[in-house]
Amino acid sequence: MLPTINPTTTKSWAELNVLAKESNFTIQDLFNQDPKRVNKYSFEFKSTYFDFSKNGISDEVLKALLELANECDLTEAIEALFSGQKINQTENRAVLHTELRRLSKKTPYSEQVSKELEKVKKAADQLNAGEWKGYSDKKITDIVNIGIGGSDLGPKMVTHALRPYWKSIKPHFISNVDAQQLIEELDGLDAETTLFIIASKTFTTQETMTNAESAKNWFLKNGGSEPDISKHFVAVSTNKSAVEAFGINAENMFEFWDWVGGRYSLWSSIGLVIACTIGYSNFEQLLLGAEDLDNHFRNSAFEKNVPVLAALIGIWHNNFCRYESQAVLPYDHRLRFLPSYLQQADMESNGKSIDRSGRKISYQTGPIIWGEPGTNGQHAFYQLIHQGTKIIPCDFLMIANPDHSLTDHHDKLFSNFLAQQEALLKGKSKEEVQVELKESNGLDQDVIPYKVFEGNRPSTSILINNLTPFNLGMLIAFYEHKIFVQGIIWNIFSFDQWGVELGKQLARPILSEIQKKETGMHDPSTSELIKKSQDMRK
Ligand code: F6P
């Protein structure tokens, strides 16, 4: 059981409120006051460098935040997580995704985990050796992963992040119930050489089951026959009977367990598409990287604990500075799906308003997570980040060594990554603008206020040596634990997702109405929209 402590009743929360009210320094002031600030607020973990110094955290603020973690019993909560207590209380489940990557230690879960990993390895090896043959004896060349949410976002993000590690199999992803995606992805594929992975923890998700049925029909219409299905369809799920009912036999099922949350499942056989695409040994490296970060998280003092520090800084921004969102800005095309992956990881985990005692919460919980890769975002929404009325804390991510030799591109990318953060920190004063105008004999004086940047906008830099599977595993685990720590302090249950249910529930009768099977009662707007859509579709 997790402790249930209303964070607003703690001494440190009150202190942080006072510190926030009295805070009259800028981030630049903090640098001026303390020349060692960068060293103090940056951390090297293996090949990754985390720099938190460009956030408006003074030593006093950090001290109070660390105290908050203690007052909220974070140490006990971390132990509850790793020791398999049923901390997902509203679903009565343990939360043990860390067991999926605990490769260097024998635990009560090792046997079942390694049995499934063996199966994943066998499939990945067979596919890449060209030994997995389709119905016409041609080798499989393409894999289509059909899943949504955690059964899509994690595998898709990782597979694309590790593009340089791709072997002989080309991956595709279908998630949306909108058939357009299915049609586009299947276009050009050959049924003889395509393998479908139906990935669904529950094997009941409407989108996935609809897409799976359509994929089966496509396969049957394009040369395959019923007995060939076993060579072209596999399932990853916790629901054996539903998998069999769909027509996939047990040998073609990869299992995982209810103690793995959907959005934390890429480490399990849900990662099959990753392992098949990058090869099993690289998949194992991903797990090892995450395990390393797990050990750091479990064993390090909070003041040196990278996910804990990131979480506490986020709490300062969210609850005391009242910033509402958090941008994730990877300066790397390979990491383009990281923001959407983190949207689910963070917002489905911490978008809650009832505390662990069942009471309505009176303070802010999970932030809005959003972002796009740099430099694209610079030409779209950075205007608001630099000069808008909202303050957006940003995580800037950069890979020091690219996987290509176009150095000129990389130098430019790097300079933008650094310059944006410097601009957010320092801004540009009225005086600086005046000097610039004078020098250039440029625009008239009226334009000065528009060219001023206030600066003092917080950012965190994450600089990674290489985007290897190991380093990526570490990075993902860093974010997972950051989210966990915040959920503990906000006194919420981070591992359920009841908020997605109502929409699903209401869609069922509406579907019946749309298909003209029954009529229903709705609010006036929905009723009119149903009528209008039926009219338009005639
Ligand atoms: O509807 C939300 C959700 O349950 C997510 O938490 C989950 O990752 C996704 O749907 C997919 O679920 P499944 O893997 O069971 O198809």
**Exposure of 293 in the CB half-sphere (CA atoms within 13 A):** 26
Decide: 211 and 221 in contact? Cβ < 8 Å: no
pLDDT at residue number 44: 94
266-299 per-position pLDDT tens digit: 999 999 999 999 999 999 999 999 999 999 999 9
Atom of ligand 1 nearest to the CA of 500: 1
From 348, 372, 480, 513, active-site residue: 348
pLDDT category at 1 given cuts 50, 70, 90 is: confident
Decide if pLDDT at 340 tops 80: yes
20-76 per-position pLDDT tens digit: 999 889 999 999 999 899 999 999 999 999 999 999 999 999 999 999 999 999 999
Decide: 337 and 160 in contact? Cβ < 8 Å: yes
CA-nearest residue, atom 2 of ligand 1: 500
pLDDT at residue number 443: 66
Decide if pLDDT at 205 tops 70: yes
pLDDT at residue number 181: 98
Decide: 491 and 4 in contact? Cβ < 8 Å: yes
The whole-chain average pLDDT of the chain stands at 96
Distance CA 538, CA 533 (A): 9
One-letter amino acid at 316 equals W
> Is 216 part of the annotated catalytic residue set?
no
Annotate 509-533 with DSSP letters as a single string.
HHHHHHTTS------HHHHHHHHHH
In percent, how much of the chain has pLDDT > 90? 92
Fill in the DSSP letter of residue 228: G
Distance CA 257, CA 236 (A): 11
396-419 per-position pLDDT tens digit: 999 999 999 999 999 999 999 999
Cα angle 487-332-56, degrees, rounded to a multiple of 5: 45
CB within 8 Å of 213: residues ≥ 6 apart: none
Atom of ligand 1 nearest to the CA of 208: 16
Atom of ligand 1 nearest to the CA of 263: 8
Element at 459 (helix H, strand E): strand 459-466
How far, in Å, from the CA of 151 to the mean position of ligand 1?
7
470-509 per-position pLDDT tens digit: 999 999 999 999 999 999 999 999 999 999 999 999 999 9
How far, in Å, from the CA of 263 to the mean position of ligand 1?
8
127-186 per-position pLDDT tens digit: 999 999 999 999 999 999 999 999 999 999 999 999 999 999 999 999 999 999 999 999
From 11, 115, 138, 504, active-site residue: 504
Please, where are the H alpha helices in 83-205? 110-128, 153-161, 179-186
Q: State whether the Cα torsion 500-503-505-511 is positive or negative.
A: negative
**Average pLDDT value for residue range 336-359:** 98
pLDDT category at 335 given cuts 50, 70, 90 is: very high
For 30-155, strand residue ranges (E) read 42-45, 48-51, 142-146
> Is 67 part of the annotated catalytic residue set?
no
> Is 501 part of the annotated catalytic residue set?
no
Decide if pLDDT at 309 tops 90: yes
Q: Best of 90, 97, 151 to mutate for ligand 1, by most ligand atoms within 8 A of CB?
A: 151
**Ligand 1 pocket list (CB less than 6 A):** 148-151, 200-202, 205, 208, 262-263, 348, 497, 500
CA-nearest residue, atom 6 of ligand 1: 262
Decide if pLDDT at 460 tops 90: yes
Distance CA 77, CA 296 (A): 15
Atom of ligand 1 nearest to the CA of 207: 16
Decide: 424 and 455 in contact? Cβ < 8 Å: yes
**Average pLDDT value for residue range 426-449:** 87
